[in-house]
């Protein structure tokens, strides 16, 4: 019985010594350093908490967090929406009546994008869309903290066309199509007449 009591006290003291050591080590906090720093593992003791909004962990410049789209460079090929495993990208396209312009890397733009939405609530940050993009207009940024009070705010809209503009383009396409159809029919009639 005495031995059990002695052992109990001895082992309890071991634990107590450990916690009191940490208690006194808590006088200082670990400094927030980049994981790439040479002295990163030198800081063994002290408070480990990073007080997040006031302190931030250093992140790599080319972080792979939230998606961003440079809509001017987009050729509306829809590849990103097709590869997305969770279908978080929604794109609507309108064929242009002629070549619209060129992207910064020289690709020819033929389609308008009245709608380019990414639902960040669905996004799983796999980065597949950024690899398939032929013009590299969809990228991952190093921004990671965005919070919203409305869940709908998590759907980012990247299209810069207004509804009227989109409507105008649709009408243009419509007229071009009808014109072409009429021309085609006229051509067919001509061949039949011959």
Partner 1 sequence: MNFYLLYFLVAFTIFGFIAVFSLFSVYAERKVSAFMQDRLGPMEVGKYGWLQTAADILKLIQKEYILPALADKVLFTIAPVIIFVAVYLGFVALPWAPGLVPATMNLGVFYVFAIISIEALGILMAGWGSNNKYSLLGAVRSVAQMVSYEIPIGFAIISAVMISQTLDLQIINYNQGILAIDAVKFLGFVDVTKIGGILAWNVFQAPHLLVAYVIYFIASLAECNRAPFDLPEAESELIGGFHTEYTGLRFAFIFLAEYAMMFLVAMLGVTLFLGGWNTPLPNVGSLQLATYTTGVFWGIFWIMTKCLTVVGIQMWIRWTLPRLRVDQLMTLCWKILTPLAFLCLVISGLWKLLL
CA distance 161 to 157: 11
Which of 10, 19, 151, 191 binds partner 1 (CB under 8 A)? It is: 19
Count, residues near partner 1 per rule CB under 8 A: 21
- 13-43 core/surface letters (b: 16 or more CB in 10 A; e: else): eeeeeeeeeeeeeeeeeeeeeeeeeeeeeee
Which of 36, 41, 49, 99 binds partner 1 (CB under 8 A)? It is: 49
Q: How far is the CB of 15 from partner 1 (least distance, A)?
A: 5
5 binds partner 1 (CB under 8 A): yes
Which of 29, 103, 135, 139 binds partner 1 (CB under 8 A)? It is: 29
Which of 31, 35, 43, 47 binds partner 1 (CB under 8 A)? It is: 47
Nearer to partner 1, 6 or 125 (CB): 6
Which of 10, 15, 191, 193 binds partner 1 (CB under 8 A)? It is: 15
- 60 Rama class: left (phi>0) / alpha (psi -120 to 50) / beta: beta
Q: What is the DSSP letter of 30?
A: P
Q: Which residues contact 153 (CB under 8 A, 6 or more apart)?
A: none
List residues near partner 1 by CB under 8 A: 1, 4-5, 8-9, 12, 15-16, 18-20, 22-23, 25-26, 29, 46-49, 51
């Amino acid at each position: 019985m005495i031995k059990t009591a002695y052992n109990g006290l001895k082992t309890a003291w071991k634990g107590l010594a450990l916690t009191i050591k940490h208690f006194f080590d808590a006088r200082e906090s670990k400094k927030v350093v980049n994981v790439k720093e040479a002295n990163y593992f030198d800081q063994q003791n002290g408070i480990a908490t990073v007080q997040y909004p006031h302190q931030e962990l250093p992140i790599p410049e080319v972080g792979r967090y939230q998606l961003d789209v440079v809509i001017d460079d987009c050729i509306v090929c829809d590849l990103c929406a097709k590869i997305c495993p969770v279908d978080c990208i929604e794109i609507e396209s309108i064929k242009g009546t002629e070549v619209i312009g060129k992207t910064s890397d020289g690709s020819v733009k033929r389609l308008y994008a009245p709608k380019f939405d990414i639902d960040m609530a669905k996004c799983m940050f796999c980065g597949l869309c950024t690899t398939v993009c032929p013009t590299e207009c969809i990228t991952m940024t190093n921004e990671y903290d965005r919070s919203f009070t409305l869940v709908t705010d998590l759907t980012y809209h990247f299209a810069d066309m207004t509804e009227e503009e989109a409507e105008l383009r649709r009408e243009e396409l419509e007229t071009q199509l009808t014109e072409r159809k009429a021309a085609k029919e006229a051509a067919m009639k001509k061949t039949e007449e011959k």
